[in-house]
Amino acid sequence: MLKNKVVLVTGASSGIGLAIALMAAREGGRLVLSDVHAQAGVEAAAMIRSQGGEAIFVAADVASASDVETLVAQTLERYGRLDVACNNAGVGGAAALVADYPLDAWAHVMHTNLDGVFHGMKYQIAAMLATGGGSIVNVASILGMVGFDSASAYTAAKHGVIGLTQTAALEYAAQGVRINAVGPGFIHTPLIASLEGNATLMAKLVAAHPMGRLGQPNEVAELVVWLASDRASFVTGAYYPVDGGYLAR
């Protein structure tokens, strides 16, 4: 589905981002992986190459506009174009009630989860317009549609990602840039793994999904790769949950 397309994935060193990068490579994409965790990112790119794919790693913090500008510039320097981008990098943030939420933790979540997507699209769209268009997939969350106790910053940022996605999609639809968002439910990732010691919380999370389980990173990657590909040629400005029925309740 992505044969010879240049594909940029942020937050690509583990979890959903790594699954997206691996699947995009198997579909023929030429990958540019990025993350703040440099060693893990280098290893992820090496993993793709060991499987016969093409991949490079560029360290970047999406909270920094200059980092993202450089990331896109290095992609263009290496490949001459950018066809697909997946803005996946994000953090969970502190668990606290709104009145108790630490200001520095709020700023960190917003800078990474919302500003990071804006930074990505700002430079990715410009690159795509120069070569006739492309596809951007932003990783939001089910919490971009509903609230969640003690996760105000994350929830607010992910709501913002959906609104930003829809607005940008309207602005660039006629110029050949498709922009969509996906909303994962609770997925087995390193972030979730850190909660596995809390059996009560894990049982609550599983029970919130009508399918009776958490999702797997590959299940999100399947949707992202489809949206990124030309098979989704008439899809833009959309939000697709991949959540085991969480939002249907």
Per-residue DSSP letter, 134? E
CA–CA separation, 53 and 22 (whole Å): 9
Q: Of the candidates 170, 178, 153, 188, which has an alpha carbon nearest to the alpha carbon of residue 231?
A: 178
210 in any annotated domain: no
31 in any annotated domain: yes
Determine the angle formed by the axes of helices 15-26 and 38-50, rounding to 10 degrees: 30
75 in any annotated domain: yes
Residues 157, 114 contacting (CB under 8 angstroms): yes
Query: Residue 102, Cβ neighbours under 10 Å: how many?
Result: 12
| Mean pLDDT of each 10-residue bin along the chain, 249 residues long | 97 98 98 98 98 98 98 98 98 96 98 98 98 98 97 98 98 98 95 81 93 97 98 98 97
Residues 128, 134 contacting (CB under 8 angstroms): yes
Residue in this structure with the two tokens 């990958």, named with its chain if needed: 31
207 in any annotated domain: no
DSSP H or E stretch at residue 5: none
What was the pLDDT predicted at 13? 97
Residues 156, 140 contacting (CB under 8 angstroms): no
Phi, psi (deg, nearest 5) at residue 26: -65, -25
Give the domain CATH number at 76: 3.40.50.720
Residues 239, 144 contacting (CB under 8 angstroms): yes
Q: Of the candidates 213, 165, 166, which has an alpha carbon nearest to the alpha carbon of residue 185?
A: 213
222 in any annotated domain: yes
Residues 106, 153 contacting (CB under 8 angstroms): yes
CA–CA separation, 26 and 80 (whole Å): 21
141 in any annotated domain: yes
What was the pLDDT predicted at 198? 86
* Whether 79 is catalytic: no
36 in any annotated domain: yes
- Overall number of domains in the chain: 1
User: Which residues lie closer than 8 Å to 91 by C-beta, 6 or more apart?
Assistant: 108, 109, 112, 113
Residue in this structure with the two tokens 């691996």, named with its chain if needed: 22
Catalytic hit among 101, 154, 172, 246: 154
What was the pLDDT predicted at 193? 79
Q: Of the candidates 145, 118, 30, 37, which has an alpha carbon nearest to the alpha carbon of residue 82?
A: 30
Range(s) of the domain holding residue 17: 6-187+217-241
**How far, CA to CA in Å, does 150 sit from each of 93, 133, 147, 156, 194?**
10, 39, 9, 12, 17
